[in-house]
Structure 1
């Protein structure tokens, strides 16, 4: 007799990281959230989500996504519950996360994991909600989830959910992880945070205008290790902060130049070189039904 656990095989689905190429806060909305502007750049690197449908309706996380993170608080579990409730589907799923994206680094790991669960289960369970409805479900889980659901580089406004796809040139990034877990809520409450920047335009970004990251000066002041990482990266290029940090990066036009820069800072920083993606590898996986990612 086939058990609920053995009814289906495991499939693997990519959950890419992202960078914010700039991040501005242009005001505060009536609902209390901040109005943002940003460019989301997806990366050709990230986590892998392993899924195995169950026939008993249970959602079971295998192992820990992060140390100490309870299953009921894990975004991958919450995402599975969200689509299950939205569709009244009778199936369940086993979930295992192969974690590479550091937590609290502004690289979108939790949001990307949740988005991958939404899109993959939409296919595996035969729900056929489609990206727009899944993005709406994802927004309730986190402001960055919709961009990962759609899987395209994008100009983001609102709380980051109002997305306009953009074509970005090829680029390679030297990523540095200071190892600091940043509390996003605390940073948003910081009295030093600039909340009334003039709105930028796409032309500002294309022209190469310095748009910056509103959280950079706050975080560099609060976390000396982040300031140190910026100082080291400044020796090989122009360092930037992604999201609310603490991940830092420098952009390069070629892999060779990024790797040469990495070699120069290797003794002082924990880093990796990653390519910017034209689109999320998740979109490719959805075409093939999952696989070895």
Structure 2
């Protein structure tokens, strides 16, 4: 899949959790989750990313059984009532959850631990021949913002991601099925996030498609003097446009319509240039 990208893709976030940082509890019921999926589809989403465990700073882990109970019914409902072909990614670090989601109709694995938490998820991706997104995180969600430190954040994240790419390849994942994510906000200080955003082209230069996830994140609020995540839609769209200009191919967002517009306009300008 990832070797066939010809234009920026918008990945819509569908958190079926009670405690996600921006939309926790809004889509934890099947009807509300399906309605949100339908809305995102009408707004031009390319992938719907479904997660059953919050990864906000300080979040506690959720059991395999609970994650499966949250995500599988929603995936089945989307497949039955909305689309049999719309790409669905499962946002999890656990192979058992990913396997259940794939069985229900998911088509992509999105692992914020890049196979560190459960290496069997890499073997699963290889066996099922499905794309996998490998993200960088320092620590775990419950402790990742406890004084993270880097001497050179861009180089350190690039090196760490290359190690996870090598692990995925060694597990049998095809190169064209791998994408990477620098992990904005996951164990990073504000300046770290800004340095990564200013150097996204270096991640693109690896040859692996890049997913950018800045949506409504706290570091942008500190720049804009905003405390409510939902008020950071324009800030998110600005990073989407800048990402397109640097060659980023995928954008994980809460607000599909606004970021679809930002990506499409930035893409047209980039093509003209």
Please, what TM-score do these two structures have when normalized by structure 1?
0.25
**Higher fraction of strand:** 1
Question: Which one has the largest radius of gyration?
Answer: 1
**Higher fraction of helix:** 2
Please, what TM-score do these two structures have when normalized by structure 2?
0.27
Q: Which has the higher contact order (CA 8 A, sep 6+)?
A: 1
